[in-house]
A and B are shown apart, each in its own frame.
Chain A
Amino acid sequence: MEIETRSAPDSAPADREADLAAWLVARRSIAIGFSGGVDSAYLAVAARRALGREGVLAIIGRSASYPEAQWAAARDVARSFDVRVLELDTSELDDPRYSANPSNRCYYCKTELWSRLVPAARAHGFTTVADGTNADDLADWRPGAQAAREHGIASPLAELGFTKQHIRDASRRLGLPTWQQPSSPCLSSRLPYGTAVTPARLKQVERAESALRALGIAGDLRVRYHDELARVELGADELPRWLEPTRFESLRGALLATGFARVALDLRGFRSGSLNVLHGVVG
């Protein structure tokens, strides 16, 4: 079953947020696949407000394909807004269908995630399990969505027409620190399809992006893994200054220290799903 957006995209924020509260109250309680990203953090906090502390369980599925810093940020958000958290380990890297890195890799990741998370939610008394999929996501190539459907996962933000910008705006009003946080897909998204996903490669990408953050690069940032070459995508605001040779040299030095032999700056800069375009999965 495809997700159908029920609310008009230009409906008033208060109406949209009231629709979400009503949707949540109708379910009485909800378990949420919680990454601490913009979308799931907003959903968790909105649910906490609508349903109270006992009505919400944010479940983190930890794996090597997400940076460790993200879990710390997720815990901080939950703690700040008094959202209960359950942490589970997932092991999608042990599945050769995932680690071979096919273009539908996300399907196997999400299958692993939901196959662990849904039973855990049930065991804690939660019948409704939701994710943070938003209305913008519906237009993107997201094989993971199929796994969510197969496991009966609800996507209230998408269903109610919340775009990413709606969620950022609503998060800001709620005082969520995630409102201006860059999107943070899993580290495997930095590897071209067909390049095996290994813990070592994921760790190398994680170290590389951390090194660039330490240089002061804010906003959107991806280090795309092309074997010996790191291709760096920066946000439009950051790109010009890092093309200056002295800065570029410092950027290169930081990445050489993480194990890449060559470093290149993408001339167009950051674009979500960049490797999908490179490999013709979407255009």
Chain B
Amino acid sequence: MESERGNRTTRNAAALAAAIAELGVQCSLEARGGLALLLPVQESVAALQSPDTRRAVLALARTHGFTHVAIELPNDRRGEGRGTDAPLLGD
């Protein structure tokens, strides 16, 4: 049975971003422990309003070892001082 906890040894942010792109959602992805933080390009935001797309993204995230997925909309601060795999405190 698949665990909801995800698996840190198999987390792969780049692979998840590529898989999500195949759904038509172009985004960069910031991994923070078990949280996959999606930063979609403006043109892809509308796609995430579809429940089917959201379900598909969540399923992909689980298969890539993430327990949570959140979306941060594009803004001017994008890219300021962010690592690609910043851990959560205590993670």
Q: Which residues of A contact B (CB under 8 A)?
A: 101, 192-195, 226-227, 229, 231, 240, 243-245, 248-249, 252, 261-268, 274, 277-280, 283
- Chain B 43-61 per-residue mask, 1 if CB under 8 angstroms from chain A, else 0: 0010011010010011000
CA distance in complex: A263, B33 (Å): 17
Q: Find out whether the CB atom of B67 lies under 8 angstroms from the CB atom of A267.
A: no
Q: State in angstroms the CA–CA spacing of A280 and B65 once bound together.
A: 12
Top-8 shortest CB links A-B: A194-B90, A264-B70, A283-B5, A264-B72, A267-B69, A280-B5, A266-B70, A195-B89
Assess whether A227 is in contact with B73, with CB atoms less than 8 Å apart. Answer: no
- With contacts A240-B51, A243-B48, A245-B73 taken as known, whether A192 is within 8 angstroms of B68 at the C-beta atoms is no
B60 → chain A closest CB, angstroms: 11
B90 touches A277 (CB 8 A): no
Q: Tell me the bound Cα distance from A229 to B71 in angstroms.
A: 11
Interfacial residues of chain B within 30-45, with CB under 8 A of chain A in the complex = 32-35, 37-38, 45
The residue from B34, B58, B73 contacting A267, defined by CB atoms under 8 A apart: B58
* CA A240 to CA B52, docked complex, whole Å: 12
The complex places the Cα of A245 from the Cα of B73 at a distance, in Å, of: 8
Chain A residues within an 8 Å CB radius of B37? 229, 264
B residues less than 8 Å from A266 (CB atoms):
68-70
Assembled-state Cα–Cα distance A279/B68 (Å)? 11
Kindly list chain B residues whose C-beta atoms are within 8 Å of the C-beta of A265.
70-71
User: Can you show 18 pairs from A to B with CB atoms below 8 A apart?
Assistant: A192-B88, A194-B89, A194-B90, A226-B32, A226-B35, A227-B89, A229-B32, A231-B35, A252-B75, A262-B72, A266-B70, A267-B69, A267-B70, A278-B33, A278-B35, A278-B88, A279-B88, A283-B4
Residues in chain A near residue B77, CB distance under 8 A: 261-262
Rounded to whole angstroms, the CA-CA distance of A280 and B91 in the bound complex is 9
User: Counting CB contacts under 8 A, is B3 at the interface?
Assistant: yes
Q: Contact at B91–A248, with CB atoms within 8 Å?
A: no
Q: Which residues of A contact B75 (CB under 8 A)?
A: 252
Q: Are B91 and A279 in contact (CB under 8 A)?
A: yes
Contact status A249-B91, CB under 8 Å: no
Residues of B within 8 Å of A280, CB to CB, are 5, 34
Using Cβ atoms and an 8 Å threshold, which residues of chain A touch B54?
267-268
Question: Are A268 and B69 interface neighbours, CB within 8 A?
Answer: yes
A264 to B35, alpha carbons, bound, how many Å? 11
Identify the closest chain B residue to A267 (Cβ): B69
